[in-house]
Structure 1
Amino acid sequence: MNKKILYILSNKFSNIDKLLSLVNSSYINIAVDGGLEIAKKYRFLDKLSFAIGDFDTCKSPEKIIKIEKIIRFPSEKDDADTILAYKYAVSKDKDQLSDLFRKNKMNMPPESLTNYTIDKTFEHHFFSVSGKREDHFISLLFFFINEIKSKKINALNIIFHNDKETIYILDSGKYTIKGEQNRTFSFFPLDDLYDISFTGSKYTFPDKIYKYESSGLSNIFTKETSSISFKGGLAILSIINKSSNLIDIVKE
């Protein structure tokens, strides 16, 4: 199983079990701005690697966590806090870090915060992506669509969570999903897709569907093991998942 990095966002949520399960199973936990207050509320500050953001939501992060674990960006910057957190986590060397901080009008962070060794096998989990600012999630979605299209990251290593759903961006290929029988899922093409095949689902798909087609809403997995395969580009897969268990999905 791949190591996980969890980005704790400041959106409101109610599924505490899902959050704590993600926290306890992650290799690195990153509080993004108001996510720091969530870590304080649910008592897992000791599990945080660092907190990052412009802290317009969490006004006094230094009162919650050691200042050595705080990376503060200015409010006027190139990227949203969550994207900055991801870029920081995956920066490979001092040159990349220096470029990231220069573009966002900041000096380099403390030396202690630059020692993470992260590669393309890591999974990046984001909780919770739904809340009062859905535009932030749209921005995050678009960012990773471009990252996946440019082959900078494995599509299955980006996972979005909210109280009720687990959401993936899939690229062309065949996927096997286990243990989701009777769960609702939705499948939306981001490109013109062809050679589409679904097994173990209540509703079938035509061999070809065009980008932004909406008819993939609210399908149901009917078997313990189901599969989805397609060619031609990217798609969004959303699975209703209120439990604290992660989805068992692999690309063949």
Structure 2
Amino acid sequence: MSAIARTLLGILTVLCCSSPALANDLCVESGLASISPRKDCHTIDVKLVDGDSEYVVKMAQAFKEMKRDMDVIYGVNHFALRAPDGEVFYLGEFKPWVTSLFWLIWSRPDTLAMTRIYSATASTRGDEIFEKVLLKQGSRFCTLYRMKKPFLGEVKDCSGDYSAHIHNFLHNVHILPDVIPPSQAWLEACKAFLDGSAQFCGENYVNHSATIVRRTSDDKLNYVVELSNYFDDTKTTRKNRPNYLVYVIDPENRTIRFVSANEKNSGHKQLVEIGQ
């Protein structure tokens, strides 16, 4: 075989082998691979709810452009989706997926009521309290926040308009009966420290410092609570400077475990790692 023939055969082999791969590449099929100036398109697996059915599908994401909002410049990604039947949907900016409703779910008095500034989850994504999935309604795609037990309910976002959600936040978020809600975890820890009394909780004697909601490796929910305590060892005399008490609470079994007393308050990372 001549050198030219071998070269042509090699080219044909590459084309034959690569064409199916390209055809199955969601980044290429959706056009994201060609419109992204950074050529950074990648795919992830996401859950899709369509009626009574649930699937795991591929969603592609790629940087598209920079935009300005007042004095803020930010990057904009575009998205695409391959449906279970193989159809590809170009979703554009898909703001419902980009906009985060975490803070509304976490802090509003009619949801989880975690309004204290030093309260948080182990991640700002909210993985500890909800699962974020896609929802198909006819030809429209939305984002669905499904609460994880012992939290119940869901929140739907089809617009990605955060301001609109602030004024009209539709949800049915709550927690199972007889489970300690995160907003009350610090009070339960305080009562455990004061032998069942809540008389001096939150009155500049034993105050709330932090509450961390987290999942253990087996997906069990617990709270890590830190209190600032101004009592001395007798629990009768107030000191000028506090020490910090750390507890781990199992909200479903309603058990409270003392972990440590420290001269300085712990950081977020330290509290997340306690007991893991």
TM-score by length of structure 1 reads: 0.25
TM-score by length of structure 2 reads: 0.24
Whichever structure has more strand as a proportion of its residues is 2
Q: Which has the higher contact order (CA 8 A, sep 6+)?
A: 1
> Which is greater in Rg?
2
